[in-house]
Amino acid sequence: MAEKRIAVLASGRGTNLQSVIDGIKNGNINNAVLQLVVSDNERAYALERAMANGIEALWINPRTFKGSEDYNDAILEALRKRRIDLVVLAGYMKILSAAFVRAYRDAIINIHPSLIPSFCGSGYYGERVHREVLEYGVKVTGATVHFVDEGTDTGPIILQQAVEVLPEDTVDSLAKRVLRIEHILLPRAVDLYCRGCLRKEERRVIIEAN
């Protein structure tokens, strides 16, 4: 099986990107090469992480395009030029166009800091997720890796893991514990995809041994 060529889209610090980089280096992600990191943010530390690891880092400035469709088309062109097989969203703050999703149907995965379908959808990112978890008073939250479709956090779920919400939790303490789980789940999902271990049955994602 040919190695899967991966592109990561990131807007910020890139800690989930680092988990993918480390996963490939330590053998937890197999049959994969991280080819490209793209950001909409010139100052994103994710770009620094890419360059420090010999990975092509590309800033595509959304302000230079007429609208989001044109911007997404520019990213698509960059991915196609590099023959990318899998797109990983790791803290990417832009919405993908329907044309982008169609071009990479079932080949885009995202990590979200809650147990979807709770605390997800439009506007649910960053601290807001954890703040609303605490305000609602749920006892369990977690992280989810899912395929991306045309909706927001609505694609089929690949992996989930729960995190207990403690009575003394703050937004910061809860976010840190959930992030540790994200760093486990995302490399695992990438590995499963790249080894051909994922099969979809409508909304269900079946994990098969390979």
CA atoms within a 13 Å half-sphere pointing along the CA-CB vector of 83: 6
pLDDT per residue over 187-198, tens digit each? Answer: 999 999 999 999
Element (H, E) at 26: helix 15-26
Distance separating alpha carbons of residues 119 and 100, to the nearest angstrom: 25
Q: Are 37 and 51 in contact (CB under 8 A)?
A: no
- pLDDT score at 209: 78
Contacts of 81 (CB under 8 A, 6+ apart): none
Domain limits, the chain = 4-207
pLDDT per residue over 115-126, tens digit each? Answer: 999 999 999 999
Here the tokens at position 21 are 């980089």
CA atoms within a 13 Å half-sphere pointing along the CA-CB vector of 85: 15
pLDDT per residue over 22-77, tens digit each? Answer: 999 999 999 999 999 999 999 999 999 999 999 999 999 999 999 999 999 999 99
pLDDT cut 90: percent of the chain above it: 98
Distance separating alpha carbons of residues 143 and 43, to the nearest angstrom: 26
- State yes or no: is 112 an active-site residue: yes
Query: Phi, psi (5° rounding) for residue 76?
Result: -55, -45
pLDDT per residue over 111-164, tens digit each? Answer: 999 999 999 999 999 999 999 999 999 999 999 999 999 999 999 999 999 999
CA angle 127, 132, 137 (to 5 degrees): 135
Nearest alpha-carbon partner for 155 in 197, 205, 92: 205
pLDDT cut 70: percent of the chain above it: 100
Average pLDDT over the chain, rounded to an integer: 96
Please report, to the nearest 10 degrees, the dihedral formed by the alpha carbons of residues 180, 185, 191, 192 taken in order. 170
Would you place residue 103 in the very low, low, confident or very high pLDDT band (cuts 50, 70, 90)? very high
Q: Do you find a cis peptide bond into 187, omega within 30 degrees of 0? A: no
Indicate whether 210 pLDDT > 80.
Answer: no
Query: Phi, psi (5° rounding) for residue 112?
Result: -130, 140
Which CATH code, of 3.40.50.300, 3.40.50.170, 3.90.1150.10, 1.20.1250.20, is assigned to 4-207? 3.40.50.170
Query: Phi, psi (5° rounding) for residue 126?
Result: 60, -145
Indicate whether 83 pLDDT > 70.
Answer: yes
Indicate whether 2 pLDDT > 90.
Answer: no
- pLDDT score at 69: 95
Among 112, 130, 146, 183, which one carries the catalytic annotation?
A: 112
